[in-house]
Amino acid sequence: MTYDLVVIGAGPGGFDAAVAAAGYGLKTALVEKDFLGGTCLNRGCIPTKLWLGATSAIDELRNQAKMKVASGEVVVDFPALQARVQKHLSGTRKAMAMQLKKLGVDLVEGFGKLTGEGKVTVDTADGEQVLEYKNLILASGSKPIFFPGLEPDGECVLDSDMFLAQETMPSSLIVVGAGFIGLEMAQVAHRFGAKITVIDAMDRVAPLEDPEVSSALHSVFKRWKWDVLLEQRVAGVTTVDGQGVLTLDNREKITADKILVTVGRGPVTDGMGLAEAGVELLFNKVKVDEHLQAAPNIYAIGDVNGEIQLAHAAAHQAHYVAARIAGKADTPYAPGPVPSVLYGSPEVMRVGLMPNEAFLMDFDTAEVSKAPLAANPMAQAHAATQGFVKVVWSGGKVVGVTAVGHDVSRLTLGATLIVEQGWTEEDVHKTIFSHPSLDESLLMALKAERTKVQ
């Protein structure tokens, strides 16, 4: 039997592609070498959100305690939390497996490799299994990458997978790489009382974000007494006598119970026979055309094509490619604005263009308008008023929104729709925003005086 579609990788991209394809009536197989759900479910977004949810009472209590309104203590039992995480993950995987079964998608467990025209060979527990396909989707995802000297040793030097699998939370933690992954995990460790050190080679935390977002985050971290070391290169990390030892380029040494290295993630492409199948790699990313196609009948979605490393982007690409294979999508892939979110408290959300991007697009009309969270009653109610909402305009239309502060993730969908619609000054007065709400800080930013981006 020849499958209409074989998908390699069952993360948010691959799983959604298989489900969507089955919905179109395509005979589909899904190949997964590890767990259903991929990195996002098993070693990424979901476990960290369960950690953040379980510890949110600690954060809320600290904020109110600072205002002398509340006192007490919240103790989160880390082993119990880890057990709950595992139970959640296995329950979710079970539900996913049932969904596949119901839709008639064949799940083939093992490492899949392209082995000649229209063939994938899967190294299963019961030996090799060859799947023939008319179409293939590569959705093999990504894995942590390391610069030389920064490799985890699994003892005191951990990557994000190892950090999530810990049995105890360290009482001191060095995070190398101040991107969203490292900052979310550092926030959880902070809630558990760990002493935090954050190191980045760039001149600011969250270096991919608006510089003002970075400095708002930085000021919160400073209030939390984190050591934030910027423009610092790390010569090496290692375990010495059960302690993590980090050596800076200037030979200075810093120690902590654990060192978490989160300097980036790179596509999983090794040993899959891609080159032989005519799939081109560029900086280890699978090159795709405007239809997310990598070679005849071969598509690549999600982290492996390196377009954008976000689960919801992968899922959106999945739906497009499944539709395309089913003959339901003629036009090139054109996603709307893709939001990105740092969860925790403070949070960061961003969608659409940043000020510098709007400036590059059209420096004549690039403007920003901004509102502080300090004036918002919901931020006040949670005693967490640091931060702001910023709106980016181009040609008189909203082209981007970014925000930093307590609970700003809740602005994501509204901001995405506003960017998608390209609101003008007139539109701002049309929609009724509920009161009181954090949404009103977005409304206030939309209405605020605009200044030109320099």
CA distances from 188 to 57, 123, 243 (A): 12, 38, 20
Instruction: Measure the CA angle with vertex 379, ends 407 and 383; round to 5°.
Output: 105
Q: In this structure, are residues 389 and 441 in contact, taking their beta carbons and an 8 Å threshold?
A: yes
Contact flag: residue 311 with its own copies (CB under 8 A): yes
Per the annotation, does 303 bind a ligand?
yes
Contact flag: residue 316 with its own copies (CB under 8 A): yes
The structure tokens listed for 374 are: 């300090």
Contacts of 389 (CB under 8 A, 6+ apart): 370, 371, 373, 401, 402, 403, 408, 411, 441, 442, 444, 445
Using CB under 8 A, pick the residue from 285, 324, 382, 390 that binds its own copies.
382
Closest to its own copies by CB, 275 or 381: 381
- Centroid of chain to Cα 59: 22
Q: In this structure, are residues 39 and 170 in contact, taking their beta carbons and an 8 Å threshold?
A: no
Contact flag: residue 204 with its own copies (CB under 8 A): no
DSSP reduced 3-state for 334: coil
Q: Which of residues 20-49 bind its own copies (CB under 8 A)?
A: 40, 45-46, 49
Contact flag: residue 338 with its own copies (CB under 8 A): yes
Contact flag: residue 437 with its own copies (CB under 8 A): yes
Calpha distance 284→281 (Å, rounded): 5
Any idea which residue has 């991007």 for tokens? 357
CB of 218 to its own copies, least distance (A): 24
For residue 65, the number of C-alpha atoms closer than 13 Å in the C-beta half-sphere is 10
Contact flag: residue 428 with its own copies (CB under 8 A): no
Q: Which of residues 75-94 bind its own copies (CB under 8 A)?
A: 75-77, 80-81, 84, 88, 92
Taking CB under 8 A as the binding criterion, the range among 117-125, 202-210, 266-274, 305-313 that sits at the site for its own copies is 305-313
Contact flag: residue 68 with its own copies (CB under 8 A): yes
Contact flag: residue 381 with its own copies (CB under 8 A): yes
Taking CB under 8 A as the binding criterion, the range among 105-113, 145-153, 360-368, 417-425 that sits at the site for its own copies is 417-425
Using CB under 8 A, pick the residue from 371, 411, 444, 446 that binds its own copies.
411
Taking CB under 8 A as the binding criterion, the range among 52-60, 218-226, 242-250, 256-264 that sits at the site for its own copies is 52-60
Contact flag: residue 416 with its own copies (CB under 8 A): yes
Q: Is 356 left (phi over 0), alpha (psi -120 to 50) or beta?
A: alpha
Using CB under 8 A, pick the residue from 282, 436, 451, 452 that binds its own copies.
436
Q: Tell me the site size for its own copies, rule CB under 8 A.
A: 76
Any idea which residue has 């080159």 for tokens? 275
CB of 307 to its own copies, least distance (A): 13
Phi, psi of 148 (to 5 degrees): -55, 135
CB of 421 to its own copies, least distance (A): 8
Per the annotation, does 254 bind a ligand?
no
CB of 331 to its own copies, least distance (A): 12
User: Per the omega criterion (within 30 degrees of 0), is the bond before 12 cis?
Assistant: no
List 88, 190, 312, 435, catalytic entry? 435
CB of 345 to its own copies, least distance (A): 12
Per the annotation, does 179 bind a ligand?
yes
Q: Provide the 8-state DSSP code for 22.
A: H
Per the annotation, does 8 bind a ligand?
no
Whether 435 is a known active-site residue: answer: yes
Instruction: Measure the CA angle with vertex 392, ends 315 and 349; round to 5°.
Output: 45
Closest to its own copies by CB, 55 or 269: 55
- Give the count of beta carbons closer than 10 Å to the beta carbon of residue 97: 14
Calpha distance 303→308 (Å, rounded): 6
Q: In this structure, are residues 247 and 235 in contact, taking their beta carbons and an 8 Å threshold?
A: yes
Taking CB under 8 A as the binding criterion, the range among 247-255, 275-283, 363-371, 436-444 that sits at the site for its own copies is 436-444
Contact flag: residue 430 with its own copies (CB under 8 A): yes
Using CB under 8 A, pick the residue from 138, 315, 373, 399 that binds its own copies.
315
Q: Which of residues 93-112 bind its own copies (CB under 8 A)?
A: 95
User: Per the omega criterion (within 30 degrees of 0), is the bond before 337 cis?
Assistant: no
CB of 241 to its own copies, least distance (A): 33
Using CB under 8 A, pick the residue from 250, 331, 434, 454 that binds its own copies.
434
Which residues pair with residue 111 across a beta bridge? 123
- Give the count of beta carbons closer than 10 Å to the beta carbon of residue 247: 15
Calpha distance 176→355 (Å, rounded): 27
Contact flag: residue 56 with its own copies (CB under 8 A): yes
Per the annotation, does 352 bind a ligand?
no
| Residues making up the binding site | 49, 112, 177-184, 264, 303
| Residues making up the binding site for FAD | 49, 112, 303
- Residues acting as catalytic residues: 435
